[in-house]
Amino acid sequence: MAEAERITARQRAILTAIVESYIETGEPVGSGTIAGTIARVRAGGGHGATGLSSATVRNEMAELANEGLLEQPHTSAGRVPTARAFRLYVERLSGGVGARLLGGAQRLSLEAQRLNLESQIDSSFAGVTGTQAMLERTSHVLATVSSGVGVAVAMVAGGDTLEHVHFSRLGKGSVLAVVVTSSGLVRDRMLTMQVDVTARELEAAANFLNEHFRGWSIERVRAEIGRLVERERSEVQRLLSSVEQLWVGAVPVGSATVQTVVVEGVANLLGTRGVGSAEDMARLREVLSALEAKQRLVKLLDAYIDAKQESVRVIFDLEEHAPEMAGLVLIAAPARMAGDGHGTVGVIGPKRIHYENTMNAVSYIAQVFERMLRPQV
């Protein structure tokens, strides 16, 4: 039998009130607090458990504790929700059950909050163009909305095409190459040339690439330059050789798929993990190191987020792939991009995060991400 089916509707309503109270205060929740909350819901026209005394709520909380959904940190304290309780709460949010238990006025209030959130997000992305700018703004907005860590990852695949290339001579045999793709991704690399190239030759090489290959896929440009070098035995041979060396240096083999990771809001964790003792600080440093090691973060996202899924996913067992993430939750969704590119947007935060608000923000930003980076027809 599913966990949600083992408890009654009244127990589900009580559990929801406990989870939301704990998210709000971070303190163990007593039966009197929940009885008062349910009374206010009743006054607002709700249809959950109503007319319950503190004693009745206390008995139901004992049953929920027996089911492994509540725990008591201290003998005289109230109860706090377990990870299983948070999972059940999120399942109800995803299925819209919580909204159905509310009265009409409360449902309208939640809908107004959602629309206001979407309006704020739209305003935040106004004027933003290009993949890198989108990633940076995405992580910033998610960190702000959730008070957690905003994460944005983009994998721009070979379908991305050349928009513009520029070469600058920095010194003898030293060149700065800047390649801009149609999705707005900017790559810059410092190149060491086998033969010194003048500023005029660099300009000629860039003009050649921009005039002949704008709109071509990155890999197709490489293949065509190689073919031209083999074919030409004329005065343009030297130019083509320089172009080939510059292009291969600027866009190395295997970089047709470029991964960019942007993380913002790490400081938000400082106030949410009970930091104070030396042990707490050591644990926090482990989390920060994991977030800074972006390749590990990408592996964590890849382990849980499937590019084919259509909805937001909430993950509680992060420690299975990253032990230092114990006690944190991941809320993320895939974001599709131009060509075969794909990305992930999400939030890493404490279990006390505001789930509904964060899930709505992640879901909507994934749509914004896809809409703004969709190839123009």
- Whole-model pTM? 0.66
Domain that holds residue 348: 110-157+257-372
Answer yes or no: is pLDDT of 17 > 80: yes
Q: What average pLDDT does the chain have?
A: 77
- 33 neighbors 19 (Cβ within 8 angstroms): no
DSSP alpha helix (H) spans, 232-354 = 237-250, 278-292, 294-304
pLDDT of 100: 42
For the ranges 111-115, 162-166, 281-285, which has the lowest average pLDDT? 281-285
Task: Give the separation between CA 107 and CA 122, rounded to whole angstroms.
Answer: 23
- Asked whether residue 130 is assigned to any structural domain, the reply reads yes
Do both 51 and 126 map to the same domain? no
Task: Give the separation between CA 103 and CA 120, rounded to whole angstroms.
Answer: 26
Do both 146 and 263 map to the same domain? yes
For the ranges 96-105, 151-160, 337-346, which has the lowest average pLDDT? 96-105
227-259 pLDDT, tens digit each: 776 665 555 555 666 666 676 666 655 555 556
Do both 121 and 54 map to the same domain? no
Task: Show the tokens assigned to 250.
Answer: 């600027």
Give residue 338's pLDDT band: very low, low, confident or very high (50, 70, 90). low
Q: Shortest CA distance to 37 belongs to which of 113, 107, 114, 102?
A: 102
Do both 120 and 193 map to the same domain? no
Task: Give the separation between CA 81 and CA 71, rounded to whole angstroms.
Answer: 6
Task: Show the tokens assigned to 140.
Answer: 């910033």
Task: Show the tokens assigned to 120.
Answer: 């704020």
Give residue 359's pLDDT band: very low, low, confident or very high (50, 70, 90). very high
Do both 359 and 313 map to the same domain? yes
Do both 92 and 151 map to the same domain? no
More confidently predicted of 96 and 225: 225
Task: Give the separation between CA 259 and CA 271, rounded to whole angstroms.
Answer: 31
- Asked whether residue 263 is assigned to any structural domain, the reply reads yes
Of 82, 101, 120, the one marking the end of a domain is 101
Do both 32 and 176 map to the same domain? no
Q: What is the mean pLDDT of residues 88-102?
A: 66
Do both 368 and 261 map to the same domain? yes
Task: Give Cα 272 distance to the centre of its chain.
Answer: 19
Give residue 364's pLDDT band: very low, low, confident or very high (50, 70, 90). very high
CATH of residue 192's domain is 3.30.390
- Asked whether residue 293 is assigned to any structural domain, the reply reads yes
Q: How far is CA 206 from CA 122, 188, 241, 317, in A?
A: 37, 14, 13, 50
For the chain, how long is the longest CA-to-CA vector? 95
Could you give the number of structural domains in the chain? 3
pLDDT of 47: 45
Do both 196 and 293 map to the same domain? no
More confidently predicted of 274 and 13: 13
Answer yes or no: is pLDDT of 3 > 70: no
CATH of residue 66's domain is 1.10.10.10
Of 250, 278, 311, the one marking the end of a domain is 250
- 353 neighbors 23 (Cβ within 8 angstroms): yes
The Cβ of residue 305 has, within 10 Å, a number of other Cβ atoms equal to: 20
Do both 153 and 261 map to the same domain? yes
CATH of residue 339's domain is 3.30.450.40
- 28 neighbors 80 (Cβ within 8 angstroms): yes
- Asked whether residue 377 is assigned to any structural domain, the reply reads no
Do both 41 and 181 map to the same domain? no
Q: What is the mean pLDDT of residues 257-266?
A: 74
Of 233, 250, 267, the one marking the end of a domain is 250
- 361 neighbors 125 (Cβ within 8 angstroms): no
Do both 314 and 286 map to the same domain? yes
